[in-house]
């Protein structure tokens, strides 16, 4: 091995160890360095094994790119395609997939063991909304002072709440004492993806109704969609 070759190899290896990365992009056109390729046509038809020069000539003839799609095959598989359009469509598909991806979210609701009936209804309303959205809800009962000697108050309150929302969710984690707090986790019956799909359908239905009734006031439309309130008082 010549000194020049050794130096080039050593620089490549050192670059990798220093954090240098190999491009994940496939080789295209004149970056492909093999004597022959297994060529696939623009419509997916098998052309066969052809010399690289012939494959590049066909790519120029079709005004397309020669893209290496299977570099480890022998010979490598290349396809004639519009690489710029392919990259754009792939990016759009990935973006749409991320948009529709459902992430499990755990909301938290805090209550006092001697909560006022009105406050209870308000808090329960938040829990109902969260469960309808497909989110889990962590319910925390906060004890203060002498309340700590009455854990049954918190337990009964959590049981009551679980029963009130049983059509929308279930007790995923039973009530348990955690220092001065008592915690219970409710899980939704519907998956997040189902809840998102239903929300999109409802939104589409509202838009269709608005188009069918253009004279309807904006105030009436707004009244159907209540503003989101904060999770904690």
The pLDDT tens digits of the residues spanning 51-87 come to 999 999 999 999 999 999 999 999 999 999 999 998 9
Q: Is residue 90 part of a domain?
A: no
Count of other CB atoms within 10 angstroms of residue 199: 13
Instruction: Kindly state whether residues 206 and 181 are assigned to the same domain.
Output: no
- Which one of 3-7, 22-26, 56-60, 187-191 scores highest in mean pLDDT? 56-60
Predicted confidence band of residue 139 (pLDDT cuts 50, 70, 90): very high
Residue 168 and residue 115 share a domain: yes
Residue 136 inside a domain? The answer is yes
Question: Does residue 38 belong to any structural domain of this protein?
Answer: yes
- pLDDT (mean) for 171-175: 93
Tell me, what CATH number does 67's domain have? 3.10.20.80
Query: Per the structure, how many domains does the chain have?
Result: 3
Least confident of 3-12, 24-33, 176-185: 3-12
Host domain of residue 67: 22-82
pLDDT for res 119: 94
Give me Rg for the CA atoms of the chain.
31
Residue 120 lies in a domain: yes
Q: Is residue 186, in this structure, part of any structural domain at all?
A: yes
**Hey, CA dihedral for 207, 208, 212, 216, is it positive or negative?**
negative
Instruction: Collect all residues with Cβ–Cβ distance below 8 Å to 141 and sequence separation of at least 6.
Output: 110, 111, 112, 113, 154, 157, 158, 175, 181, 182, 183
Residue 28 sits in the same domain as residue 70: yes
Please give the pLDDT value at position 96: 80
Q: Is the dihedral of CA 63, 65, 70, 71 positive or negative?
A: positive
Give me the CATH number covering residue 147: 3.30.110.10
Q: Is residue 100 part of a domain?
A: no
What is this structure's pTM?
0.47
What is the pLDDT confidence band of residue 18, given thresholds at 50, 70 and 90? very low
Residues 152 and 199 in one domain: no
Residue 206: predicted pLDDT: 83
Please indicate, yes or no, if residue 13 is contained in any of the structural domains.
no
Is the pLDDT at 163 greater than 70, yes or no? yes
Please report the sign of the dihedral spanned by the C-alpha atoms of residue 81, residue 82, residue 85, residue 86: positive
């Amino acid at each position: 091995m010549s000194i020049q070759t050794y130096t080039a190899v050593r620089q490549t290896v050192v670059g990798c160890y220093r954090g240098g990365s190999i491009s994940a992009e496939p080789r295209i056109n004149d970056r492909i360095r093999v004597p022959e390729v297994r060529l696939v046509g623009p419509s997916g038809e098998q052309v066969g094994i052809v010399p690289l020069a012939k494959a590049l000539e066909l790519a120029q003839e079709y005004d397309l790119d020669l893209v290496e799609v299977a570099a480890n095959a022998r010979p490598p598989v290349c396809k004639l395609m519009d690489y710029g359009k392919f990259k754009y469509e792939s990016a759009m598909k990935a973006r749409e997939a991320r948009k529709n991806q459902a992430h499990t979210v755990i909301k938290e609701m805090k209550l006092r063991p001697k909560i006022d009936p009105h406050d209870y209804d308000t808090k329960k309303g938040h829990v109902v909304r969260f469960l309808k959205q497909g989110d889990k809800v962590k319910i925390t009962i906060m004890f203060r002072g002498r309340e700590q000697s009455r854990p049954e108050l918190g337990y009964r309150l959590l049981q009551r709440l679980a029963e009130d929302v049983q059509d929308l969710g279930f007790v995923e984690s039973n009530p348990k004492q955690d220092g001065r707090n008592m915690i219970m986790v409710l899980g939704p019956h519907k998956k997040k993806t189902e809840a998102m799909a239903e929300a999109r359908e409802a939104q589409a239905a509202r838009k269709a109704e608005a188009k069918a009734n253009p004279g309807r006031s904006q105030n009436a439309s707004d009244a159907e969609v209540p503003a989101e309130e904060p999770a904690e008082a």
